[in-house]
Amino acid sequence: MSARSTTTSAFQADVLQNDLPVLVDFWAPWCPPCRAVGPVLDELAQEQAGKVEVIKVNVDENPELAQQYGVTSIPAFRVFNNGDVVGSFLGAMPKKAFEDRLAPYLGAAARN
Instruction: Please give the positions annotated as active site.
Output: 31, 34
Q: Shortest CA distance to 83 belongs to which of 9, 39, 20?
A: 20
Rounded CA-CA distance 10/20 in Å is 16
